[in-house]
Structures are given as C-alpha cells and as structure tokens.
Amino acid sequence: MYKNYLYIYNNLINFTRNKDLYKSLNREDNFSDRLTLFLLHFAFFLKNFKNVDNKIILQEIYDFIFKQLELSIREIGYGDQSINKKMKDYINLFHSMVSEIHFWNNLTKTQKLEKFSIFLTDFNKIDHLLDYFELFDENLSKKTLNSYLKSVSNP
C-alpha cells in the first residue's frame, strides 16, 4: 500500500519542481521555499479528498508524507535534535496552511492572496501562484483519490 503513497508523494514533488512557481522569488530558491510550496500542494490535496470515506487512507498518506520529509531533512545533514525541531515547525506550518485554505472556495481573490502572503513572504507578486493553485485545486476536484493512488499525474 505504501507504494501507492509514493505515487502521491512523487506527484507532489513533481508539482513543486515547476520552475514557474519560483519566478517571483528575488533569489535562488532553497529547501525551505520548495518545502513551503510542497506543503501547499499537499494541503490542497487533503482539502479536496477529505471526507469520511477517505479518513483512514488520508491519515496514512499524511504519516507517509511527513516520514518522507523527515528522511529528506536527515539527508540534508541535520542532527537528531534539529530534525525534531524542524519537523515540529513544518508540521505546524502545514496545519496552519490547512486551516487557512479550509474554506478556500468561499474566499475572494483578495482574501486568497492574503492567505498566500502569510506563507510566501519571500515571494513578490504572488498573483501567478494564486492562479496556479486555483487551477491545481480545480484539477484535483475533477479526479478521485484512487486516481492519485494508482498513477503519476501531470500538474
């Protein structure tokens, strides 16, 4: 079953590698920037597929994703104490993202930009990111969770 979760993880990584996402960054992107966009993708993913029927599988995906992130942080070379602190920070960031986009479809464009500006402080002119995530959200809503468990999708 975890192989299916790897498809989702790899899809989210591929979405995050889109160079257009970083065009409003005034510097070279770094791990933190990529992780922030990865977590935004994952937050939209969970928002779209959250329901009673998917509760258990989404929890397993959540656990798998954060285990993969922990492994990535270890590969970068952080020590055990640093990893625990970083993971706590990233999990808190993610939960605040989920909270901010929970009622995404009921927000105005201005409100959505305000929500994004909370997490994308190093990005200028984030309108293109809003457009990107609007399309991403729409594409997620057209598919089933099962389609993401069984294949690699295009952004």
| Cβ contact 73:81 at 8 Å | no
- The CA-CA-CA angle for residues 151, 63, 142, to 5°, reads 40
Q: What is the pTM of this model?
A: 0.91
For residue range 94-153, what is the model confidence (pLDDT) as tens digits? 999 999 999 999 999 999 999 999 999 889 889 999 999 999 999 999 988 888 777 655
Give the pair of three-digit tokens for residue 131: 């457009």
Residues 6+ apart with CB under 8 A from 110: none
pLDDT at 31: 86
pLDDT at 38: 97
- Whether 11 is in a domain gets the answer yes
pLDDT at 29: 87
- Tell me what the pLDDT averaged over the chain comes to: 89
Cα gap 86→78, rounded to integer Å: 9
Domain around 53: 2-150
Residue 92 Cα distances to 27, 62, 87, 95, 140, angstroms = 25, 13, 8, 5, 24
- Whether 110 is in a domain gets the answer yes
- Whether 155 is in a domain gets the answer no
- Whether 126 is in a domain gets the answer yes
- Is the confidence at residue 93, as pLDDT, over 90? yes
Name the domain count of the chain: 1
pLDDT at 154: 52
- Whether 114 is in a domain gets the answer yes
